[in-house]
Chain A
Amino acid sequence: MLEIKFYGRGGQGAVLASQILARAFFKLGMYPQCFSIFGGERRGAPVESFLRVDEKRIRLRCGIKNPHHLILMSPDLITPEVLSAVRKGGMILVNAETLPETVKGVGECDIALIDAQGIADRVGLGRALNTAVLGSYCRVHGGIPLHFLEEAIKEIIPSRIDENIEAARIAYQEVSIYRRSKGNGA
């Protein structure tokens, strides 16, 4: 079972990101389960969203403390606690222009860097950088063909579908990956 945590700010699309990715996995024949931590849903507030994926039915109905993959949509939210929760051999994907020093310091994890905000700005999506983040995630994950993500985006995103797909495609190409772990953590 693979456990993924999205960490972002209200308005960036962390909740929808986990649902789009869940749908892409579902289309691949996997069993996804996704959920979000609620209570402070408003623009700018920290938002956590989660996704479990397995080949068989998932019975767990509890939170995810130690994800294999951590997706940081907002670099200013990075704290030592958030980073240290990632499992050894896991992966941290961060949206930033340059790799933050704190993330560089995490050992035994793959690190991926994407300027998702820059891509969202380029294609005219403003703060909604979730589809760019997902495009880069597909590349890092290695097992999600981009067209599965594109189909999921079409089914879930209510407007500006072309721009969102464009953002995902650009991010898939532009993501930088630093392989440093011995396994993929999953």
Chain B
Amino acid sequence: MKELMTGNEAIAHGVRLSRVQLVAAYPITPQTPIYEKLSQWESEGKLGGVMVRVESEHTAMATCIAASLTGVRVFTASSSQGIALMHEMLHFASGNRVPIVMGCVNRALAVPWAFGSDQTDTLAQRDTGWIQFYCEDNQEALDTVIQAFRVSETVCFPSMVIIDGFYTSHFMEPVEIPPQEAVDEFLPPLPMPNRFDFSVPAFLSNVVGPLDYFRFRQRSFSDMAHSMEVIKRVDEEFGRTFGRSYGVLEGVHLEDAEAVLITSGAITGTARVAVEELRGEGFRMGLLKIRLFRPFPAKEVCRLLEGKRKVGVIDRNISIGQGGIFCQELKAALYPMATRPLVQNYIAGLGGLDVPVELIKEVARDLMGRDREEGPIWMAEP
């Protein structure tokens, strides 16, 4: 069934269809409508699970971790300062290997105070040991919530399902709501044989010596690397069941592309239109969408960009003192290639600044005329 809904509502539908048993969250713009929708369904008896009111995002995550350890399926959502406040608990979640799914709606971090989309809030959580999916539109957000529960419960790592503030969270468009029975079959009840049992008291998050800590981290690293195959398999199975799959990356017109734009999140949609227009004007442009950021699909990126001469990475995020974060990751991934493409970074859309088709075409024209790299180029309409 198709229904008109916002990206926030799409995430809420994914949560409802996943039969989440507990939601602990704290409101913050632009994520609040997720919270409101779930609260509304809870009050109408349509949610199945319970909402837990908490006093902060830090407590929201602590509550999710504790609940998840007892073997129930949990969800939370946040943005910006809320994610920043959760930071400490994000490490506890991945260290305890709990399969929490969090909806993240990108919003600029203070100061200055702003509301618009900026991926720096979730990218700043890069090293917390969470899986990160960056979604392009509302349908992908709904589908990815369901996929993320399946992945997280298989590999025992928490997942972030990330959308852009306003450009996805508040854009309303038609979304296919998958049938509950099909979702139930795809996502069976949470299997947690080692769940916390109150009748057998135990202690978690213990203190260990350096070697145990070292081995624990090593194990987390290799398990996260192995999760790549699970993520691909789950997406393929989702495609066979529901007719939609996304891959960890998506290439558009890469076969004959002389120059390739790299995007993530909502900017990808607009970039698709820009690339089609450029091709219509005779330019052999390609597009590579990065959907999965952790684990980073390094080998897959190298394979898709083999033989390409020029790559332009558009980042709606910034690591002050270095540059765009997707660009840094991409450059590191491309390093083993025998012949690397020129990689130019473009910073655009910070704080929710609009990134229209014309601006992306300007990026592409700069890239095509370029014969050497320089520091990040800041792109904004006059």
Contact B4 A23 (CB under 8 A): yes
Looking at A30-38, A134-142, A168-176, the stretch in contact with chain B turns out to be: A30-38
Contact A61 B168 (CB under 8 A): yes
Which of chain B's residues have a CB closer than 8 A to the CB of A60? 269-270, 273, 357
Which of chain B's residues have a CB closer than 8 A to the CB of A22? 4, 172
State whether the Cβ of B191 lies closer than 8 Å to any Cβ in chain A: no
**Contact string, B147-174, partner A, CB cutoff 8 A, digits 1/0?**
0000000000000000010111011111
**Contact string, A13-53, partner B, CB cutoff 8 A, digits 1/0?**
00000010011001000011111101100000000000000
Which of chain B's residues have a CB closer than 8 A to the CB of A63? 354, 356
Contact A65 B356 (CB under 8 A): yes
Contact A61 B270 (CB under 8 A): yes
State the A residues within 8 Å of B (CB). Answer: 19, 22-23, 26, 31-36, 38-39, 58-63, 65
Which of chain B's residues have a CB closer than 8 A to the CB of A31? 173-174
Which of chain A's residues have a CB closer than 8 A to the CB of B273? 59-60
Given A32-B174, A59-B270, 5 further pairs, Cβ under 8 A: A32-B172, A38-B30, A60-B270, A61-B270, A63-B354
For chain B, what secondary structure do more than half of its interface residues adopt (helix, strand, loop), or is it mixed?
A: loop
Assuming A22-B4, A23-B4, is B172 touching A33 (CB within 8 A)?
A: yes
State whether the Cβ of B137 lies closer than 8 Å to any Cβ in chain A: yes
* Min CB–CB distance A66 → chain B (angstroms): 10
Which of chain B's residues have a CB closer than 8 A to the CB of A26? 4, 174
Interface set, chain B 4-32, CB cutoff 8 A to A: 4, 30
* Cross-chain contact of A34 among B172, B267, B270, B272 (Cβ < 8 A): B172
* Min CB–CB distance B87 → chain A (angstroms): 26
Give Cα distance in the complex from A38 to B169, angstroms.
Answer: 12
Which of chain B's residues have a CB closer than 8 A to the CB of A58? 173
State the B residues within 8 Å of A (CB). Answer: 4, 30, 115, 136-137, 164, 166-168, 170-174, 266-267, 269-270, 272-273, 354-357
Give me 11 A-to-B residue pairs in the complex whose CB atoms sit less than 8 angstroms apart, sorted by A's number.
A19-B4, A26-B4, A26-B174, A35-B166, A35-B170, A38-B30, A59-B137, A60-B270, A60-B273, A61-B164, A65-B356
Q: Which of B166, B173, B269, B270 has the most CB of A within 10 A?
A: B173
Which of chain B's residues have a CB closer than 8 A to the CB of A61? 136-137, 164, 167-168, 171, 266-267, 269-270
* Cross-chain contact of A32 among B4, B137, B272 (Cβ < 8 A): B4
* Min CB–CB distance B345 → chain A (angstroms): 20
- Count of inter-chain pairs, beta carbons less than 8 A: 59
Contact B172 A39 (CB under 8 A): no
Which of chain A's residues have a CB closer than 8 A to the CB of B137? 59, 61
Give Cα distance in the complex from A33 to B266, angstroms.
Answer: 14
Which of chain A's residues have a CB closer than 8 A to the CB of B174? 26, 31-32
Contact A62 B270 (CB under 8 A): yes
Contact B168 A39 (CB under 8 A): no
* Cross-chain contact of B172 among A19, A38, A65 (Cβ < 8 A): A19
* Cross-chain contact of A33 among B30, B173, B354 (Cβ < 8 A): B173
Which of chain B's residues have a CB closer than 8 A to the CB of A19? 4, 172
Give Cα distance in the complex from A63 to B116, angstroms.
Answer: 13
Residue of B nearest to A36 (CB): B170
Which of chain B's residues have a CB closer than 8 A to the CB of A36? 170
Give Cα distance in the complex from A36 to B170, angstroms.
Answer: 8
Assuming A26-B4, A62-B355, is B270 touching A33 (CB within 8 A)?
A: no
* Cross-chain contact of B272 among A39, A59, A65 (Cβ < 8 A): A59
Give Cα distance in the complex from A39 to B267, angstroms.
Answer: 21
Which of chain A's residues have a CB closer than 8 A to the CB of B30? 38
* Min CB–CB distance A19 → chain B (angstroms): 6
Give Cα distance in the complex from A36 to B6, angstroms.
Answer: 11
Give Cα distance in the complex from A65 to B270, angstroms.
Answer: 14
* Cross-chain contact of B170 among A32, A38, A59, A65 (Cβ < 8 A): A38
Which of chain A's residues have a CB closer than 8 A to the CB of B272? 59
Give Cα distance in the complex from A34 to B167, angstroms.
Answer: 10
Contact A62 B115 (CB under 8 A): no
